[in-house]
Amino acid sequence: MRLGVTAVLVVGAVVIGLEWPNTAKKEPGVSNIPAKIDYREPKAVRLKPHDAAFALTVVRRFIDTAVAGKSIDASWDLVAPEFRAGFTRKQWDEGKMPVVPFPVKDAHWKLNFSDTQGVAFEVALTATKRSHMNAQVFLIGLHPLGAGKRRHWVVDSWQAAPTSGGSTVSGGGGGSANVLAQMTPKLDPRGQSRLSAAWLFLPVGLLSLILLVPLGIITVNWYRGHRAARALQRS
């Protein structure tokens, strides 16, 4: 009788344990449904002449200060907040920043791309003769901040270009024309290329033609009328 009662209790406990509902929260399982990521490729846009001029001004100042090591503290305001993230102003002014120094002699540039988020340039730097370093190509990215009169360009990336197809040139003290032949004219003291300056003068020339052509026609008609009037007076 004892064995029978014990067996009944054991079987009952097992049945209750198997049939009793599990009140614990179920962990989410692995789903085979692909996750939806809302990412859109930036749309390529044409870089406007005045944007190119302002962006290249920032590029020139960044190279003179952060890269060449002249007045490094002045480069703090030229970079985006994410570029200097993790560095204090004191560390930055001491040269502790994500930029490897380079003894810059000349800088030539070429547009890499321009889209709705920003622009990127390839910059070929030639080194000073004293450094005995090869010329090297870097990639620099910029994007605009602010709006209206406060809109300005900031540097958000600076890195060496992949070493392929003549990214560096042989020979010390500035190298040869292997790299520079692929680049546009060097940055002038104002940070604008000669090509960009020509773009800026083009609208002025077109506006001048709009004003000068009608003025010329009026002048020619007046001169012809004046000659005809004088001819009639003589006759």
- Domain coordinates in residue numbering, the chain: 49-194
Mean pLDDT score of the chain, rounded to an integer?
77
- The region of weakest confidence among 140-144, 173-177, 211-215 is 173-177
Residue 111 has pLDDT above 50, yes or no: yes
Higher-confidence position of 137 and 23: 137
CA angle 11, 14, 20 (to 5 degrees): 130
Type of residue numbered 70: K
Region label for 54, one of left (φ > 0), alpha (ψ between -120 and 50) or beta (otherwise): alpha
pLDDT of residue 41: 82
The yes/no answer on whether domain 49-194 falls in CATH 3.10.450 is yes
85's tokens: 């993230």
pLDDT for residue 186 is more than 50: yes
- Looking at the DSSP bridge assignments, the partners of residue 119 are 114, 142
Amino acid found at 132: H
Grouping H, G, I as helix, E, B as strand and the rest as coil, residue 78 is helix
Tell whether the model's pLDDT for residue 62 goes beyond 70.
yes
Identify the CA nearest to 153 among candidates 60, 79, 73, 97. 79
The SS3 of residue 153 is strand
Buried b / exposed e over 133-158, threshold 16 CB at 10 Å, is: bbbbbbebbbbeeeeeeeeebbbbbb
CA 146, 152, 156, 162 torsion: positive or negative? positive
Strand partners, 144: 153
- Sort strands 119-127 and 136-145 into parallel, antiparallel or unpaired: antiparallel
Residue 172, pLDDT score: 43
pLDDT tens track for 117-160? 999 999 999 999 999 999 999 999 999 999 998 999 999 999 99
Nearest alpha carbon to residue 60 among 48, 46, 74:
74
Side-chain-side CA neighbours of 108 within 13 Å: the count stands at 18
Question: Mean per-residue pLDDT for 208-214?
Answer: 64
Per the confidence metrics, is the pTM higher than 0.75? Answer: no
Confidence (pLDDT) at 207: 57
Which of 36-45, 118-127, 165-174 shows the lowest mean pLDDT across its residues?
165-174
Percent with pLDDT over 70 in the chain: 57
3-state percent breakdown (helix, strand, coil) of the chain, nearest 5: 45, 20, 40
Cα 5–chain centre separation: 83
